Amino acid sequence: MQHGFTIGGEKFFAIRADDRSLYGKKGKEGAVVVRTVSCVMIGHHNEAVQTPNAAAALEKVADYINGSSR
């Protein structure tokens, strides 16, 4: 992930990547990608929201999806 990733033509600098999620920044904006058992969710936030807050919200929805699909 040293070269970052692109979503919708916008390039983001990868700040975290693991088996489940990918976090990125572009200036003060950011993107969070989370994999669930049934889909991949992509969230984008502007400068008014910090990446950890956006990630927590998306990860919570992912946990719900993973829990309800069992």
Question: What integer pLDDT is reported at residue 1 of this predicted model?
Answer: 72
Sketch the domain layout of the chain as residue ranges: 5-68
Distance CA 70, CA 22 (A): 24
Q: What is the mean pLDDT of each successive set of 10 residues along the chain, which is 70 residues long? A: 90 94 94 95 94 93 84
CA–CA distances in Å: residue 31 to residues 1, 59, 69 = 14, 13, 25
Question: Is the dihedral angle over the CA atoms 13, 18, 22, 27 positive or is it negative?
Answer: negative
pLDDT at 70: 58
Homologous superfamily of 5-68 = Dynein light chain 2a, cytoplasmic (3.30.450.30)
